[in-house]
Amino acid sequence: MTKALSLYLDALRFSAALTVFLSHFPRFSGGLFWQMEPYGRTGVLVFFVLSGFVIAWVTATRERTLEEYALSRAARLYSVMVPAFIITAALDHIAMAIDPRLYGQEILPPMMRGPLNVLLGYVLSLFFLGQSWTLDMPPGSDLPFGTLDYEAWYYVLFGLATFLRGRRRMVALAVAGLLVGPKILLYLPVWLMGVLAWRWHASLPNQWGAPLVLGALAALIGLQALGGQGLFSHPESPWLPYGGDFGAYDYIVGALVALFIVGLANAPLPMPGAAVQRLIRFLAGTTFGLYLLHFPLLNFFGTVIRGPANSASHWLPVFGLTLGVAITVSHAIEQQKGPLKRALRSGLDLARRRRLRPALERQGLP
């Protein structure tokens, strides 16, 4: 992972998060940026492939044990998740008391109607079970969180396959697969395309880099120009991702994104100036929080800022406040990843010492 490749992947990561944000904005602006609506799913696919690529890299270079891998993933997820849950619950409570129309049946899944179901959505999401089997239970109005249920289980499955051996690995993978169900497993090949991109990129000649980048981009643009998702059938079923809005398109886009990343890894990448580099690194560091917080914030500001949705006096502050608050809060909570990992490690060491203490006392050791 070169410095240049890392920077370009950071730019790709933030671009994907911004695309998802823009794809949700038309509902709160009277249709502004409606052209972006089909590309929210594309942004999610980019995240999946990027995630697989990065996880394959860290397990090959830094996180060489199950303990180190598990602590890093837990700290990465919960350092942002827990604050996002608290913020979402607070925003939903305030905005629904003012005007519940943006929280109606057309936006929240049927399973989320009623206070007990909302509470259950938070509990299930805490363990990444809100999308298991036919469930569709995000934490409050944070609908984008559902894809994190997918990604977290890909972390688990990859960790089990990488660090366990023999029968233990087979049993653990089977149990995990039974917990998550077919809906989440259907997107696993897209995530694994990122893993394969990491493992194959070094074996390709460098001269293939630029043609792969340009070819993947041209193919993706051509696919969208021909109709994108509309080219493929989408059988409706609660057993499928997005309620059935799933098909060959997802695998094709995943493969093109993987080829694009392989091309970047082998192409000569020009580096921008230091100021641009700092900006990209800063924005990339807010990606996770922006992804989790933008939808609750859109609902909140869309409720409390009065006026017609298509009026600039409404959509402009909704856009600016949502993006600004999401990036600012994300930057603040992102700083908690390191302290949380250290706290988790200390807790694990303490539990390990307590478990060993009786055996040491029996041997007369302190």
Q: Which of 103-107, 122-126, 272-276, 324-328 is predicted with the least confidence, judged by mean pLDDT?
A: 103-107
Q: Is residue 88 part of a domain?
A: yes
The sign of the torsion formed by the CA atoms of 129, 133, 138, 142 equals positive
Q: If we measure between CA atoms, which residue out of 353, 326, 314 comes closest to residue 102?
A: 314
Q: Is residue 127 part of a domain?
A: yes
Residue 267 has a pLDDT of 92
What are the tens digits of pLDDT across the range 215-231? 999 999 999 888 888 88
Q: Is residue 358 part of a domain?
A: no
Check pLDDT > 80 for residue 358: no
Q: Please give the backbone phi and psi of residue 240, each rounded to the nearest 5 degrees, phi first.
A: -110, 155
Q: If we measure between CA atoms, which residue out of 137, 85, 135 comes closest to residue 296?
A: 85
Q: Is residue 342 part of a domain?
A: no
How many other C-beta atoms are found inside a 10 Å radius of the C-beta of residue 238?
12
How many other C-beta atoms are found inside a 10 Å radius of the C-beta of residue 171?
12
Check pLDDT > 60 for residue 15: yes
At residue 240 the predicted structure's pLDDT band, cuts being 50, 70 and 90, is confident
Q: Is residue 318 part of a domain?
A: yes
What are the tens digits of pLDDT across the range 70-101? 999 999 999 999 999 999 999 999 998 888 77
Q: Is residue 205 part of a domain?
A: yes
Check pLDDT > 80 for residue 108: no
DSSP 229: G
Residue 23 has a pLDDT of 94
What are the tens digits of pLDDT across the range 34-50? 889 889 999 999 999 99
DSSP string for 49-70 = HHHHHHHHHHHHHT--SHHHHH
Mean pLDDT within 284-296: 94
Residue 32 has a pLDDT of 86
Q: Is residue 340 part of a domain?
A: no
- C-alpha span between 156 and 132 (Å, rounded): 14
Q: Is the pTM of this model over 0.75?
A: yes
Supply the range of the domain harboring residue 227: 3-335
Number of domains in the chain: 1
Q: Is residue 18 part of a domain?
A: yes
